[in-house]
Structures are given as structure tokens and as C-alpha cells.
């Protein structure tokens, strides 16, 4: 089926945000994400990751600064309108799901964007297939395990076919098979030209599936660059409670000159490695 | 005498067609740190609920066989009696937090209030456990206005404060950053050194390899493997596609195919073992 290819750039300019209780969660954050990029946002609990991405779809509005989604300033748009450009998968699926069964849940978003008939059904089928939910259409999500509820949450956003998709901690509590399914979804969204942004503590998942990493600390951006470059900054990352991925730690232990993030990179470095050299 | 003794235990949830646990036999000595691994749906959480008495007292359903934990027969002992001896940290902290308290401090004291502990002793314990779990600065925040990771630490603290003999944890670090994960594993390891028995469901195999004394692998409700981490985590019987294997093991498997891992050497589960193996392979080459 055809998927919309829209060139929607995300632009965050000098964004600061203070919660009503007075906690200053973001301090002058600026970043720009091009259409089709795959970006992981990492950093310690409470560093502002979720607060940042909730600005992308208007769930939060800047205290100062601004956020542009394509030509829209989020401060001037409704969450309902922004939903056509930015899909956001909540950390906890129970915060998101409310319909009577999987089919209705996944159809809800695209129906609200105005889709109907065969076109809507096709979207829903595609999202269910990607998430491995085909055959579970009639089930109430409360009768599914937490793993599958997470997949329903993912499917209901994928079905909206937004140019930007944001995942908040997609791999928590998921087993290896499910993490692999999520990695495949990220891959497929990349093929469709979507921008994929994820918050994650799973640094190995980040190293293996994302090309750019933004590390946050205390409401600011600590590091922003290619995955290999950012994950090489072991000492800086430790200040925001991030440990390098396991393969990078092994490479470092062996004394490889370069940071390795994937198995392929490991073997490439290993072949030319001379201990003690 | 084992502090956890499970014999011929099978359990089916109400209205479920197939059993969630089948013929589980398990014996754990006092002070052991046992990790329970398995795919989603393998029965890890169900086993946790069973050891803590939530099954059969809360979830009902059909339970066969027996579970004795800290000297108590779980199906004969009320939950009110169980919670004093056996603590359960929920997988989702949101489901554990009482909803009856306005601050983190009060939330952590909630269990102690219910057992009628003296005020000063209560304050001492609450403050000690908040320091131990790194949440002293959250004392006056609402338990609901916290990040997932902070909530998870509060959930852990509110069980540790009860000073249980047996501590059952259902993926207690799923929402923590890596260094937070390390801190929590270290706290739990220290509990086990002090003689508290630990049973912990966990997906993070590298951490299991580093910290647990023993690993139990569940598959489709049955015990598949039971042994030392270095044996269980590289066992070919482990359904790798579901439980996964540690990244070091996976890397060494690929290295073996390429002739880059020392012949006859056991596959690694930790960073140290992987580094030693690759150094040896390079020296031999």
C-alpha cells in the first residue's frame, strides 16, 4: 500500500519548560531533526527526555522558546491537529488504550484523521501485521499481556501514518522476540521515509538501531551526534547515568582504537586489532 | 531447611484455558539470589505472585501442589500475615503504589503503619531505606508525580522497609537508567549477603550473569533449566529467540562460526569472560 511521504522537519528553538509545581525540566534546548532521521534520546531518569518529546505533539507547550513541526508552531496548533504529523506512543500502554477491542483501538486514530472504508481497513491491517497482532483483532486489550498491550499502543499510532513517530521507552519489560519485533518496526518506518524518535534506557537497542543519539542531562542537551561518536564519550555519558553499550565496553576493554556499536563493527575492528600495539 | 519449597505446583488463572505454571518444583536456600528468566508469558510473574501468596488469595484460580515460603504455607496463610515475611515488588510500580498517600515518605511508611510499628522506629526505617534506594530528595513529592524510574525506586523502597525474609521482585529495574539499574542490583545483592533470600524475575541477562547466584529458566509455564548463571545462560536448550542470550554470548557464537573463538572454550556471559576469550583467540592466531 502507499504511504504518505511528507518532508516534515522538527525544529526546537531555545526551548525551556517549567512544570506548574516549579520544576524546571528543560533549559534552553535547541535541536533540529530532518525528515527520515532515526534518533535516540538517552539520559538519566528525570533528565527531561519525556518532557522534551511531549512538546513535539503539543501535549506540553513551551514556557519559553518554540517548537516547529514543519511549518506549524506547536504553540498555535491543537493536539488534535498535531496528531496528523506526530504520533506518540506512551511509555505505559495503559495510559493510552481505551477502546473495546484491538481492531477499534487501532482504527480510532486514523478514523479521526478522516480515513474511512477500505482505506481505513487497509491501514489497520498493515499496523496489525507490523506489530504481530493479526488474528487478535477481536480481543479486549485488558485480556492481553503487558507485552501485547504495548504492541496495541504501537499499532494504534502506526496506523495514523504520521511523518514523525515518537516512542517513549518502547522496549521496557519486553522479551528478546518482542524487542526484535520493535527493531524491525523501526527499520520498516525508516524504509517508509518516516522520522523515528525514541526515548530509551536500553543502550544496546539504541546502539544497534539508531544512527543519531541525543544525550540529555538536567534538562539540557549534553551530547548530540552520530551514534558512534556520542557513545564513545564514556566519561561524559557517565555524568547522565549512561553506560556504553556492551560491545563498546568489550572493545574498549580489549583496547580497540574505535568505539564499536554493532557486531559487524566489532569484527571489523577485531580483524585489524593487535593487542598491546 | 530450604526457605522456599515449591512442590508439584500448577496454577491456572480464572477463566484461562491453559495453566500458567505446570509442575514446578523449586527449593531455595536462605540468602540465595535466584534470577528467574523466560520469555513474556513464560510464567515469571505468576511464579512471583505464587511465592508471595497473591496466588491464590488475590488472583483465585486453580492451584495445585504446594508452596512453603519463610515457613508459611502460602495457600493456608492470609496475605496480611504473608506480607510481613515475604515482600513482592510489582513489575509496574503504578499498580503497587497505594493511592492512599500524598507523599513518597508516607507511601513508604504505609506498610509499617499497617503492622502497627512504633512511630520512631517507623521514621528510622523509612529514612534509612530512602537513603539506600537514592530517593531521599523525593520525600515530599506525590508518588504519582514521579518519572517511571523514580516510581520504581519508591515501589522497591516501600517493600524493603518491611524488612522481609524473602524478597520477590518482578522486573524491578525495567524503567531505570543503566546506572540506576546497577545501583538497584547492588542494593539487592547486599540484601542477599545479609541473609535475605532473593527471587527476581528479570530480562536483563548481563546483569543476571553478574549478580545472581543461580538462574531458573521458565518456558511455557514449566521449569526448563536451573543452575549457575554461566551454565544456564549459554545452554543450547535456552530458546534464544524468546529469552535471548547475552550480547557477549551472541557475539562469541558468531566468532565461533568464523573460527575467532578459542576451540573448546565455554561461551562467555560477562564482559570479563568475553575479553579473556578474545585475547586468547588473538594470541593463538
Residues A44 and A90 occupy one common structural domain: yes
Q: Which of A177, A201, A273 lies at the smallest CB-CB distance from B176?
A: A201
Q: Is the pLDDT of residue B244 over 80?
A: no
On the 0-12 / 13-18 / 19+ scale of CB atoms within 10 A, B8 is exposed
Residues A34 and A111 occupy one common structural domain: yes
Residues A257 and A168 occupy one common structural domain: no
Residues of B in contact with A246 (CB under 8 A): 206, 246-248, 271
pLDDT category at B199 given cuts 50, 70, 90 is very high
The string of pLDDT tens digits covering residues A11-20 is 999 999 999 8
The string of pLDDT tens digits covering residues A167-199 is 999 998 788 889 999 999 999 999 999 999 999
Q: What is the mean pLDDT of residues B133-141?
A: 93
Residue A5 within a domain:
no
- Closest residue of B to A272, CA-based? B282
Given this model, what pLDDT does residue B17 score?
87
- Give the 3-state DSSP-derived string for A198-238, with helices as H, strands as E and coil as C: EECCCHHHHHHHCCEEEEEECCEEEEEEEHHHHHCCHHHHH
Domains and CATH numbers, chain B: 4-103+163-239 (3.40.50.300), 246-285 (no CATH)
Residues A131 and A150 occupy one common structural domain: yes
Domain that holds residue A254: 245-277
Query: In degrees, to the nearest 5, what angle opens at C-alpha A164 toward C-alphas A120 and A177?
Result: 80
Model's pTM, two decimal places?
Answer: 0.84
Residue A1 within a domain:
no
For residues A200 and A168, give the distance between their C-alpha atoms in angstroms, rounded to a whole number. Answer: 7
Average per-residue pLDDT in chain A? Answer: 93
For residues A150 and A145, give the distance between their C-alpha atoms in angstroms, rounded to a whole number. Answer: 9
Given this model, what pLDDT does residue A6 score?
81
Q: Is the pLDDT of residue A21 over 90?
A: no
Given this model, what pLDDT does residue B245 score?
77
Decide if A146 and B91 are in contact by the 8 Å CB cutoff. Answer: yes
Given this model, what pLDDT does residue A262 score?
92
Q: Is the ipTM, as predicted for this complex, more than 0.95?
A: no
pLDDT category at B241 given cuts 50, 70, 90 is low
Number of structural domains chain A divides into: 2
* 3-state secondary structure at position B143: coil
**Which helix (H) or strand (E) is B185 found in, with range?**
helix B178-193
Q: Is B31 in contact with B192 (CB distance < 8 Å)?
A: yes
Q: Which of A46, A91, A253 lies at the smallest CB-CB distance from B275?
A: A253
Average per-residue pLDDT in chain B? Answer: 92
Given this model, what pLDDT does residue A2 score?
62
**Count of A–B CB contacts within 8 Å?**
119
* 3-state secondary structure at position B190: helix
Q: Is A42 in contact with A201 (CB distance < 8 Å)?
A: yes
pLDDT category at B240 given cuts 50, 70, 90 is low
Q: Which is it for strands A86-89 and A164-168: parallel, antiparallel or unpaired?
A: parallel
Residues A176 and A277 occupy one common structural domain: no
Amino acid at each position: 500500500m502507499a504511504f504518505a511521504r511528507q518532508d516534515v522537519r522538527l525544529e526546537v528553538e531555545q526551548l525551556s519548560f517549567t512544570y506548574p509545581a516549579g520544576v524546571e525540566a528543560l533549559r534552553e534546548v535547541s535541536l533540529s531533526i530532518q525528515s527520515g532521521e532515526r534518533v535516540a534520546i538517552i539520559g538519566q531518569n528525570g533528565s527531561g527526555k519525556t518532557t522534551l518529546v511531549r512538546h513535539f505533539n503539543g501535549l506540553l507547550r513551551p514556557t519559553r522558546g518554540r517548537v516547529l513541526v514543519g511549518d506549524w508552531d506547536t504553540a498555535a496548533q491543537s493536539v488534535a491537529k498535531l496528531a496528523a504529523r506526530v504520533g506518540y506512543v506512551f511509555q505505559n500502554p495503559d495510559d493510552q488504550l481505551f477502546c473495546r477491542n484491538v481492531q477499534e483501538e487501532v482504527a480510532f486514530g486514523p478514523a479521526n484523521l478522516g480515513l474511512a472504508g477500505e482505506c481505513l481497513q487497509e491501514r489497520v491491517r498493515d499496523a496489525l501485521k507490523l506489530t504481530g497482532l493479526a488474528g487478535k483483532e477481536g480481543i479486549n486489550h485488558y485480556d492481553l499481556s503487558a507485552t501485547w498491550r504495548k504492541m496495541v499502543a504501537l499499532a494504534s499510532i502506526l496506523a495514523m501514518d504520521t511523518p514523525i513517530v515518537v516512542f517513549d521507552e518502547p522496549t521496557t519489560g519486553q522479551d528478546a522476540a518482542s524487542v526484535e519485533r520493535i527493531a524491525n518496526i523501526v527499520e520498516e518506518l525508516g524504509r517508509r521515509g518516516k522520522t523515528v524518535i525514541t526515548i530509551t534506557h536500553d543502550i544496546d537497542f539504541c546502539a544497534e538501531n539508531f544512527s543519531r543519539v541525543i544525550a540529555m542531562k538536567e534538562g539540557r542537551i549534553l551530547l548530540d551526534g552520530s551514534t558512534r561518536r556520542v557513545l564513545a564519550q564514556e566519561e561524559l555519558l557517565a555524568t547522565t547515568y549512561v553506560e556504553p553499550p556492551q560491545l563498546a565496553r568489550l572493545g574498549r576493554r580489549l583496547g580497540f582504537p574505535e568505539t564499536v556499536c554493532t557486531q559487524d563493527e566489532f569484527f571489523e575492528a577485531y580483524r585489524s586489532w593487535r593487542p598491546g600495539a | 531447611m530450604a526457605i522456599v519449597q515449591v512442590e508439584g505446583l500448577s496454577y491456572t488463572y480464572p477463566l484461562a484455558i491453559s495453566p500458567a505454571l505446570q509442575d514446578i518444583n523449586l527449593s531455595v536456600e536462605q540468602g540465595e539470589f535466584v534470577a528467574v528468566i523466560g520469555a513474556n508469558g513464560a510464567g515469571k510473574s505468576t511464579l512471583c505472585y505464587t511465592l508471595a501468596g497473591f496466588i491464590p488469595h488475590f488472583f483465585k484460580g486453580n492451584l495445585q501442589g504446594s508452596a512453603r515460603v519463610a515457613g508459611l504455607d502460602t495457600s493456608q496463610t492470609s496475605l496480611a500475615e504473608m506480607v510481613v515475611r515475604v515482600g513482592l515488588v510489582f513489575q509496574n510500580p503504578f499498580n503497587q503504589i497505594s493511592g492512599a498517600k500524598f507523599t513518597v515518605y508516607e507511601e513508604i511508611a504505609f506498610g509499617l503503619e499497617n503492622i502497627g510499628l512504633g512511630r520512631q522506629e517507623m521514621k528510622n526505617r523509612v529514612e534509612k531505606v530512602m537513603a539506600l534506594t537514592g530517593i531521599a530528595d523525593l520525600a515530599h513529592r506525590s508518588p504519582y508525580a514521579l518519572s517511571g524510574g523514580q516510581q520504581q525506586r519508591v515501589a522497591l523502597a516501600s517493600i524493603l522497609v518491611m524488612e522481609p525474609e524473602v524478597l520477590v521482585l518482578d522486573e524491578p529495574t525495567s524503567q531505570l537508567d543503566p546506572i540506576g539499574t546497577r545501583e538497584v542490583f547492588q542494593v539487592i545483592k547486599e540484601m542477599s549477603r545479609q541473609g535475605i533470600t532473593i527471587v527476581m524475575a528479570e530480562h536483563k541477562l548481563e546483569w543476571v550473569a553478574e549478580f545472581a547466584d543461580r538462574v531458573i529458566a521458565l518456558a511455557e509455564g514449566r521449569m526448563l533449566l536451573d543452575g549457575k548463571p554461566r551454565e544456564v545462560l549459554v545452554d543450547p536448550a535456552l530458546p534464544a529467540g524468546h529469552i535471548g542470550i547475552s550480547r557477549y554470548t551472541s557475539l562469541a557464537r558468531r566468532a565461533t562460526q568464523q573460527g575467532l573463538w578459542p576451540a573448546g572454550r565455554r561461551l562467555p556471559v560477562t564482559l570479563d569472560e568475553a575479553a579473556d576469550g578474545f585475547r586468547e583467540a588473538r594470541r593463538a592466531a
